[in-house]
Amino acid sequence: MQASKRRLALKVRIGHILVYSILFGGAMLFLLPFLWMFSTAVKPIEQTLSSSSWLPYRDYVEQKGQLVPVGNHQKVPVEATRIKKIKPQWGNFVGAIKAMRHFPLYLQNTLLLCFLTVIGMVFLVRWWLMGFRV
Amino acid sequence: MTRGERRVLWVGLAFISPWIIGFLTFTVYPLAAALYYSFCDYDILSNPVWVGTLNYRDLVADHVFWRSLYNTLRYATFFLPLGMLLSLLVAILLTQSIKGRSVFRLTYFLPCLVPVVASAMIWLWMFNSRFGLLNRALAKMGIDGPNWLTDPHWAMPSLILMSLWGIGNMIVIYLATLHDVPKHIYESTDMDGASFGRKLWHITVPMISPVIYFNLIMGLIGSLQVFVQPYIMVPDGGINRSALFYTVYLYEHAFSYLNMGYASAMACILFLLIFFLTWMATCSIQKRIYYAGE
């Protein structure tokens, strides 16, 4: 009796481990594109294509005892050692909203469409089908 | 019909008239117009000219049309079984009583919350042959990754792979029904010592068969009408038109060449094809569906 109970417990545990590992592996596959999207969203433009890093960083060089960020069009002496610092570009979000010139209007249109469709689908159609009874 | 009955009929019709008017103007009229235009030479700018079955005869001779039809059917034959099997598997795992179940459920549904255009853009980067995440990961393992979207052999598998990322909708529908299978049936099979596989095949699958049927039909229609992902990722169908989809080709004729008549003929054929395939699917599996005594 004791032995068979133990075997059953072991079986249940193996089953659990199997379920967890499959679900976890799948969840990772489903999440990766998201994480990549998010990490690209906070990268400076020059890293969006060329960088294999998951983290957004910025290159700095030391000039006269100060760390100066290396921009796109700035000339940097070749021998200068570059220092990498992790620096998410939150400004990208502001830039994206500004690039859509009528962002509030777009948002308003989308929300209005969504609101009316949901209200119509859930309440009006049901009310209608039930013969206008509440 | 007496006067009273006729009166009741008219009142009834008046009450459902909002629906009747909407149905006539937004469903019946466009359908009839598409059918009419499919027999016309119509470029939107000038009036349609009746040409008989010319559009249909041209279609039969158009090898790009056959190519797009073949591609779409190939996509459906791979995506549909894979998607249905995977989503059922994940849904069953997600009904087990495990810790963090809701987090897992959220994760699998998350891709459905991203607008299709946005997810196509993400995958465009993922599939990029030089900088994409996929090929970088493969390179780390020492595999030289293919040019996913630009290689004629890999464009279709890439699109199928990407579609599998969005099976969250099917999973949600399965989840909703898996909770409706009566617990006592499982309990009695546990008493008989049935294994996991037996319970799955002899209880779960028959009990949720109406929903499997629903997902099959919806998936069939959806995968034959797939448009946004291929249109954004391989707009011209790629090299040798290897990933040209039916609806993309239809759109090309309608809005790039302004061949509305030709496009309408394609739309009519697709409609008939979907109608026929749905009818076949219904006929072949209807008797195997269990409606709990109804």
Domains of chain B as residue ranges with CATH: 62-113+164-288 (1.10.3720.10)
Beta-bridge partner residues of B40: B50
The answer as to whether A120 is a domain residue is yes
Q: Which residues form the domain of A134?
A: 100-134
The answer as to whether A29 is a domain residue is no
The answer as to whether A110 is a domain residue is yes
Radius of gyration of chain B (CA): 24
pLDDT recorded at residue B130: 80
The answer as to whether A116 is a domain residue is yes
Residues in chain B: 294
The answer as to whether A130 is a domain residue is yes
Q: How far is it, in rounded angstroms, from Cα A14 to Cα A33?
A: 30
Instruction: State the nearest Cα–Cα gap between B23 and chain A, in angstroms.
Output: 14
pLDDT along chain B (294 residues), means of 10: 88 90 94 94 91 94 95 95 94 90 93 89 86 84 86 91 92 93 90 88 91 94 94 87 93 93 95 95 88 67
Stretch 11-70 of chain A: residues touching chain B, C-beta under 8 Å: 15-16, 19-20, 22-23, 26-27, 29-34, 36-37, 40, 49-50, 52
Q: How far is it, in rounded angstroms, from Cα B152 to Cα B243?
A: 7
pLDDT recorded at residue B81: 95
The answer as to whether A13 is a domain residue is no
Low-confidence stretches of chain A (pLDDT beneath 50): none
The answer as to whether A6 is a domain residue is no
pLDDT recorded at residue B50: 94
pLDDT recorded at residue A132: 63
Q: Which of B107, B114, B196 is closest, CB to CB, to A27?
A: B107
Q: How far is it, in rounded angstroms, from Cα B219 to Cα B112?
A: 15
Q: Are the C-beta atoms of A33 and B165 separated by less than 8 Å?
A: yes
User: Could B93 and A31 be called an inter-chain contact, meaning their C-beta atoms sit closer than 8 Å?
Assistant: no
Residue B96 at interface with chain A, using a CB cutoff of 8 Å: yes
Domain count, chain A: 1
Q: How far is it, in rounded angstroms, from Cα B75 to Cα B83?
A: 11
Helical ranges in chain A per DSSP H: 2-41, 47-50, 91-99, 103-119, 125-129
CA-nearest residue to A16 within chain B is B98
pLDDT recorded at residue B293: 58
Q: Which of A22, A34, A52 is closest, CB to CB, to B93?
A: A22
Q: How far is CA B113 from the centre of its chain?
A: 17
